[in-house]
Amino acid sequence: MSTHRSAGPHEVDEANGVHRVNEVNEVNEVNEVNEVTLVGRMSQPAEQQLLPSGAELWKFRVIVSRPPSPVSRVTVDTLDCVVWTKRLARTVSRWRAGDLVEVTGSLRRRFFAPAGGGRASRCEVEVAGARLIRRAGG
């Protein structure tokens, strides 16, 4: 005899070992999320950049260690971050290479026209929050 029970959006048929997700209008209950939190070391001090549009941004890279993996010899990720607001620019402009920092924000794909012409894009963390955790060497 099969035991069949409903557990909220999931159905479990214990006799057959089947687990299914009901598709009863659950799409309306799912919120899309684009939130990033990085804790890592500054690769070098942030750099100010003036765009042709006149907008000012600060960009920097955060180095985040990866846990050991049997499938990859890569030990770190180096992630591009960008700051658009003056308040956050004041914060990150004081950071030095090796400082341990935390940044929060969203992953964005930014399109731009490089000096050589054409179109290019890059993915970067658009920083909404930033804090210094510990100075390098300290």
Q: How confident is the model over 64-110, as pLDDT tens digits?
A: 999 999 999 999 999 999 999 999 999 999 999 999 999 999 999 98
How many beta carbons lie within 10 A of that of residue 61, not counting itself?
18
Topology, domain 36-134 = OB fold (Dihydrolipoamide Acetyltransferase, E2P) (2.40.50)
Q: How far apart are CA 25 and CA 99, in angstroms?
A: 47
Residue 117 has phi, psi (to 5 degrees) of 95, 175
0.85 exceeded by the pTM? no
Query: Any idea where the domains of the chain sit in the sequence?
Result: 1-30, 36-134
